[in-house]
Amino acid sequence: MAFTVNGHGPQRTRGRYRPLAEINVTPLVDVMLVLLIIFMVTAPLITSGVTVDLPRTKAAPVNQDAKPVTLSIKADGRIYLENSAVALRGLVARLKAVANARPDRRIFVRGDRAVPYGRVVQVMGTLTAAGFTKVALLAQPPAAVPAGSARRGPG
């Protein structure tokens, strides 16, 4: 192995290519940002499995402290507890099983706008007769009105 003291002549190759003891954070940040974007895009797609056309309202959203049980009524009158179909006769038994026999658990009723009002009242009456007291109707919030396109009244 040849080397010189004054810096001229052949150098040792070991000092030139020594291992780098630092972590390169840039690829890690890139991967994390890609994963964040993927989760932001897919999260809204997995919220509910039953498609219901909700009516619009101007009311503020209800604050939620625990995950409520969702009951959906489709346009043809069929009832779904979470994502599975259920008959009106077996609704109370299935709901007590899902709610872990807790009548104070919050229940959201999502009724399609084409469902007759009597059907929604019938379902809600069945729930309250079974002892469930925290029953709420869901509606879609109004679409945001773009700035500068304020609605005018008649006249």
The pLDDT of residue 5 is above 90: no
102-131 average pLDDT score: 84
Q: Could you tell me the pLDDT band of residue 36, with boundaries at 50, 70 and 90?
A: very high
Is the residue at 76 inside a domain? Answer: yes
What is the tens place of the pLDDT at every residue in 59-113?
A: 766 655 567 788 889 988 889 988 888 888 888 888 878 777 666 778 888 888 8
Buried b (16+ CB within 10 A) or exposed e, 48-79: eebebeeeeeeeeeeeeeeebbbbbbbeebeb
CA distance 136 to 106: 8
In a domain? residue 80: yes
Identify the CATH number of the domain in which residue 121 sits: 3.30.420.270
Which pLDDT tens digit goes with each residue over 135-155? 888 877 776 555 555 554 454
Q: How confident is the model at residue 130 (pLDDT cuts 50, 70, 90)?
A: confident
Helix (H) or strand (E) holding 107: strand 107-111
DSSP, residue by residue, 118-144? HHHHHHHHHHHHTT---EEE--BPPPP
- Tallying the residues shown for the chain, one arrives at 155
Q: Is residue 108 part of a domain?
A: yes
61 lies in some domain: no
pTM for this prediction: 0.51
Computed over every residue of the chain, the mean pLDDT equals 76
Six-digit token pair at 103? Answer: 């009548």
Mean pLDDT within 15-33: 84
Query: Which tokens hold the place of 73?
Result: 């009524």
- Distance (Å, rounded) from C-alpha 118 to C-alpha 123? 9
pLDDT of residue 35: 94
Contact, 108 vs 66, CB < 8 A? no
How many domains are contained in the chain?
Answer: 1
Question: What is the rounded CA–CA span in Å between residue 130 and residue 91?
Answer: 10
Q: Is 115 exposed, middle or buried (0-12, 13-18, 19+ CB in 10 A)?
A: buried
Contact 74, 52 (CB under 8 A): yes
Asked, for residue 62, whether it belongs to a domain, the answer is no
Q: For position 84, what pLDDT does the model report?
A: 86
State mean pLDDT over 22-27. Answer: 86
In terms of residue numbers, what domain contains 106?
Answer: 69-137
In this predicted structure, the answer to whether residue 129 has a pLDDT above a threshold of 90 is no
